[in-house]
Amino acid sequence: MDKKFLVGFDVGGTKCAVILGAAGADGELEFLERGVFPTAEFREPERCIEEMTRLADGMLARHELTNDRLHGLGVSCGGPLDSRAGVIQSPPNLPGWDEVPIVSMLENRFRRPVRLQNDANAGAVAEWKFGAGQGVESMAFLTFGTGLGAGLILNKRLYAGCCDLAGECGH
């Protein structure tokens, strides 16, 4: 079976995570490896992104994968952000992360497609496709971490709104 290898980056106010996974032709997901570090250790965006790429490089090497074997990379982060432009704008729980063009930074580094999504929206899609939300047409996903968030699936589609903040329930 031909697998699509994927790298996920989660930028959080408390911790950052990097995950290497594989998707089979049947849509089944397999988590291969996960690495986590406290965000405070690498508070500046450039240093944090450098540490995430270092972890991803190590995972790829341990699984004998090269960048060209990657299908793509995804980044989740609390808002505000602009998913279409690929820019983290200035999340309240990430001081100094102002107008960070994370998608272009990672595309230049890995030479693979990269997508950015609000973390609550990413969680909503994951729960809808692979979790308790499978088979429903509409649902709300709530996340309680360093901040509060919500993602909405309406009529079998992610509803992000004009600024990727639809459904956000507070800060």
Domain ranges of the chain: 4-118, 120-159
Average of pLDDT values for 134-151?
A: 87
The structure's pTM equals 0.90
Angstrom distance (rounded) from CA 38 to CA 34: 14
- Catalytic residue of the set 57, 68, 98, 119: 119
Q: Mean pLDDT throughout 153-164?
A: 88
Task: Specify the CATH class of 4-118 in words.
Answer: alpha beta
Share of the chain above pLDDT 90, in %: 73
- Confidence at 149, pLDDT banded by 50, 70, 90: confident
Is 119 marked active-site? yes
Helix 102-110 vs helix 45-62: crossing angle, to nearest 10? 30
Burial code (b: 16+ CB inside 10 Å, e: under 16) for 46-58 equals eebbebbbebbee
Checking if the pLDDT of 1 tops 60, the result is no
